[in-house]
Amino acid sequence: MNIKSRKKRLERLDKKHLWHPFTQMKEWCEESPVIITEGRGSFLKDITGRWYIDGVSSIWVTVHGHRKKEIDTAIKEQIDKISHSTLLGLTHPPAIELAEKLVQTVNPQPVTRNRELSRVFYSDNGSTSVEIALKIAYQYWQHKGIREKKMFVSLKNAYHGDTVGAVSVGGIDLFHNIFSPLLFKTYNVPSSYCYRCELKRKHPSCKLYCLAKMEDTLKKHHKEIAALIIEPMVQGAGGMIVSPPGYLKGVRKLCNKYNILMIADEVATGFGRTGKMFACEHEGVRPDILCIAKGITGGYLPLAATMTTEKIYSAFLGRYKDFKTFFHGHTYTGNQLACAAALANLQLFKSERTLKKMEGKIEILRNGLSRIAELPNVGDVRQKGFMTGIELVRDKKTKEPYPLEDKMGVKVCNIARDKGLLIRPLGNVIVLMPPLSISNQELKKLIQITAESIQEAVC
């Protein structure tokens, strides 16, 4: 079968059988999709042989590039031993060794035993890591005998995943409103969306007024609040909303003040995306519970982890008859292949000095974005490390957004695709999040194509 015939056949079967995530399938079936067959470094190749820059790291997961030899080898060697056995009643070396490495990685500085994130509970994606964190926080207070602590605090514009618990602490109406009858109630507080501040204040003269409003809620309801959950430094799916300096540290102080557990959802921000290994490091913050996924395996296999302090873990210790067990688990929890990939991924951060090499690239990206910010229909550019959001507006002066039916973000991404760059929008926000290993020249090309695509889409 020639390439043209194979492509046509796969398109037909895709449209006949597949249901794609976050996709309006009626429109999908009216278009010709890009069918990816290969990856190499910062690039993806489609079935016709055309190469594209992977501008969003295959949805924020690829770290050291596609077909990275060291990770490929680690997985192949593990396959020759065993691909999966359960962690229910058994254990195995990759899960044990990865847990040790994760504890070392998330605790770069010595801390007291009760503050150290010392315990690792595996799952397989960001949503489940958050679901686990919520259940641990709730059950912790039940074991402590403070049974009224059942509520959670989350931020507007937050996204923590798509399972019911994760959606309950989400704050994006477009994604979450339809499921509202299924969700548990939470306290929703203003986010630090400075460009479109819902409190009608301006930074820095506001003196982080959103923190003051958060404290109003905590002060009033702290006796019933189990935990506050936050995406540290950057609200990803909310539009790459970068919090101002001091905000994250302020959140940690409020949680301490009102005896509330702090859950840091670093599913998107972890593993170098913000320029630090974890976003909490930017302000020296240590959460009580940490959720990690996406980049944990370098973009190879599904894996996630929920990490807690020894203090939280200890509350679950007891005899069989005490029923203090954390009754949660997944079939592929701690899968050997995924753990092997994660171990190789962490080793690469060290051997290739990934974070150090990012420093110059972050500056290249910042300089390129400064030029994009000058374009007439770019209202705001937000960047933290390699996490970037470019917000398009119909009117720069008034910040008037493009109406939904204009699909402006989609238009920009379609033009970029024709130019050899694969990126995705969040409404009117264009997201750039390339692999950390992208070369300087590839990064400059990504910036150039993005600028050209915006200019062509809005003209």
List the chain pLDDT tens, one digit each, 459 residues: 799 999 999 999 999 999 999 999 999 999 999 999 999 999 999 999 999 999 999 999 999 999 999 999 999 999 999 999 999 999 999 999 999 999 999 997 766 666 799 999 999 999 999 999 999 999 999 999 999 999 999 999 999 999 999 999 999 988 888 999 999 999 999 999 999 999 999 999 999 999 999 999 999 999 999 999 999 999 999 999 999 999 999 999 999 999 999 999 999 999 999 999 999 999 999 999 999 999 999 999 999 999 999 999 999 999 999 999 999 999 999 999 999 999 999 999 999 999 999 999 999 999 999 999 999 999 999 999 999 999 999 999 999 999 999 999 999 999 999 999 999 999 999 999 999 999 999 999 999 999 999 999 998
Same domain, 182 and 228: yes
Same domain, 340 and 360: no
Residue 425 domain flag: yes
Q: Tell which of 351, 386, 405 closes a domain.
A: 351
The CATH number of residue 173's host domain is 3.40.640.10
Same domain, 53 and 111: no
Which residues constitute the domain of residue 432?
34-64+353-458
Task: Kindly calculate the radius of gyration of the chain based on its CA atoms and give it in whole angstroms.
Answer: 22
Closest CA to 226 of 125, 299, 334, 312: 312
- In the chain, DSSP finds a helix count (H) and a strand count (E) of 15, 18
Same domain, 57 and 82: no
Q: Tell which of 321, 336, 351 closes a domain.
A: 351
CA angle (212, 214, 220) in 5-degree steps: 100
Same domain, 203 and 346: yes
Name the CA dihedral angle for 401, 406, 409, 415, rounded to a multiple of 10 degrees: -140
Same domain, 309 and 392: no
Residue 19 domain flag: no
- CA distances 255 to 145, 234, 283, 435, Å, are 19, 19, 15, 34
The CATH number of residue 419's host domain is 3.90.1150.10
Counted domains in the chain:
2
Q: Are 295 and 270 in contact (CB under 8 A)?
A: yes
Residue 29 domain flag: no
Residue 70 domain flag: no
- Round to whole Å and give the CA distance between 47 and 389: 29
**Strand, coil or helix: 425:** strand
Burial class (CB in 10 A: 0-12, 13-18, 19+), 370: exposed
Residue 131 domain flag: yes
Residue 71 domain flag: no
Residue 110 domain flag: yes
Same domain, 241 and 268: yes
Residue 38's CB is within 10 A of a number of other CB atoms, namely 13
pLDDT in the model for residue 112? 65
Same domain, 83 and 58: no
**Strand, coil or helix: 428:** coil
Same domain, 381 and 371: yes
- Round to whole Å and give the CA distance between 215 and 222: 10
pLDDT in the model for residue 111? 67
Q: Are 283 and 274 in contact (CB under 8 A)?
A: no
Residue 444 domain flag: yes
Same domain, 270 and 367: no
pTM of structure: 0.97
Residue 406's CB is within 10 A of a number of other CB atoms, namely 15
Same domain, 291 and 426: no
Same domain, 293 and 321: yes
Q: Tell which of 298, 321, 351 closes a domain.
A: 351
